[in-house]
């Protein structure tokens, strides 16, 4: 039985089940498995629950181990790897009855008043914040700003007011960050274009696609409840695996995060 989840804050409302153990629920998604961005975001939320509020996540690295089921809760077990003076490190394993579904490591950092240099620029071909083809789903706002071979740019945000809590804003970025990388890589596959032109055969009839591992680097504070541009570019395909690297920009042009994801795109053999 899947749960009715009204909003993002409710999705992040994990229950405590013993020391450093948290349990979350999932809505049902059209593709059958739990959305990977949800598990990353809930895993980050579990880690945040064991960290002092003065420390903010600066990076996370996750491996998707198997697809999660919306029919049962997800158990998040947090390991307090290290509490340092400037950095705090946590490991989170997400489990269901079939075993582990995600292994996540994340690091938190105290703010340091040091040099701030930005090299990346907001692309000039993506329109106004929130503009583009509307492809919203569930609690995620998705607006396709640019789509071309090997590149996918979308304005993304969760569809509710989250206030100015930086921890919840970081979880919202983690949630949205799993939506675009596959599109960038899939656009470079030599056969996917053929399938898309076929009015009978669908992508899922021919290919198996899933996220393998995922990384986010949080560079600067996230603006509260604004559309963020996720601009992803494919770095190619080999051995059924493809890599996409993307930059995340605030509407003001500030480079707030970088996302990298390796995906699996495999042709079905049976």
| Shared domain check, 244 and 134 | yes
Catalytic: which of 70, 152, 169, 261?
261
Other beta carbons within 10 Å of 52 = 10
Residue 78 token pair: 């947090």
Residue 199: band (very low, low, confident or very high) from pLDDT cuts 50, 70, 90? very low
pLDDT digits (tens, 9 = 90+) for 41-85: 999 999 999 999 999 999 999 999 999 999 999 999 999 999 999
pLDDT of 160 reads 87
| Residue 261 bears catalytic tag | yes
Helix 166-176 and helix 36-48, axial crossing angle in degrees, nearest 10: 160
Catalytic residue among 26, 69, 211, 234: 211
pLDDT tens digits, 152-193: 999 999 998 888 899 999 999 999 999 899 889 988 877 665
**How confident is the model over 219-258, as pLDDT tens digits?**
999 987 899 999 999 999 999 899 999 999 999 999 999 9
164, 167, 172, 174: CA torsion to nearest 10: 150
- The last residue of a domain, from among 110, 139, 172: 110
Sign of CA dihedral 170, 8, 73, 14: positive
Residue of higher predicted confidence among 225 and 195: 225
> What's the rounded Cα separation, in Å, for the pair 162 and 4?
19
Among 79, 110, 141, residue at a domain's last position: 110
pLDDT at residue 60, rounded to an integer:
98
Distance CA 66, CA 141 (A): 26
The domain in which residue 241 lies consists of 129-270
pTM here is 0.93
Q: Which residue has the higher pLDDT, 105 or 211?
A: 105
With cut-offs at 50, 70 and 90, classify the pLDDT of residue 194. low
Instruction: Please report whether residue 173 resides in a domain.
Output: yes
The whole-angstrom separation of Cα 31 and Cα 35 is: 9
d(CA 58, CA 90): 12
Q: What is the DSSP string of 43-77?
A: HHHHHHTTS-TTEEEEEEEEEE-S--BTTS-EEEE
Is the domain of 95 the same as that of 161? Answer: no
Return the H-helix or E-strand segment holding 214: strand 207-218
**Cα gap 182→166, rounded to integer Å:** 27
Q: Which of 69, 178, 183, 231 is catalytic?
A: 178
Q: Could you tell me if residue 18 is inside a domain?
A: yes
User: If you average pLDDT over residues 183-206, what whole number do you get?
Assistant: 66
Active-site residue 211, yes or no? yes
Q: What is the mean pLDDT of the chain?
A: 91
pLDDT digits 0-9 by tens, 48-57: 999 999 999 9
* CATH code where residue 66 lies: 3.10.129.10
């Amino acid at each position: 039985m899947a749960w009715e989840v009204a909003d993002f804050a409710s999705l992040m409302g994990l229950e405590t089940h013993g020391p450093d153990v948290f349990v979350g629920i999932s809505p049902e998604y059209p593709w059958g498995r739990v959305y990977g961005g949800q598990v990353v975001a809930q895993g980050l939320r579990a880690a945040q629950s064991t960290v002092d509020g003065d420390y903010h996540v600066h990076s996370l690295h996750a491996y998707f181990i198997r697809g999660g089921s919306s029919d049962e809760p997800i158990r998040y077990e947090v390991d307090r790897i290290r509490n340092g003076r400037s950095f705090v490190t946590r490991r989170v394993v997400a489990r269901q009855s079939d075993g582990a579904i995600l292994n996540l490591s994340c690091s938190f950092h105290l703010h340091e008043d040091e040099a701030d240099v930005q090299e990346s620029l907001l692309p000039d071909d993506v329109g106004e914040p929130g503009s583009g083809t509307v492809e919203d789903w569930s609690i995620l706002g998705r607006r396709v700003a640019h789509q071309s071979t090997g590149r996918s740019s979308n304005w993304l945000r969760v569809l509710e007011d989250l206030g100015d809590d930086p921890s919840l804003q970081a979880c919202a970025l983690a949630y949205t960050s799993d939506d675009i990388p596959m599109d960038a890589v899939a656009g470079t596959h030599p056969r996917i274009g053929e399938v898309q032109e076929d009015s009978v055969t669908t992508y899922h009839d021919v290919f198996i696609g899933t996220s393998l591992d995922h990384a986010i680097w949080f560079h600067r504070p996230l603006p509260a409840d604004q559309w963020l541009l996720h601009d992803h570019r494919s770095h190619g395909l080999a051995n059924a695996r493809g890599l996409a690297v993307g930059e995340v920009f605030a509407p003001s042009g500030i480079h707030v995060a970088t996302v990298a994801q390796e995906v699996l795109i495999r042709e079905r053999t049976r």
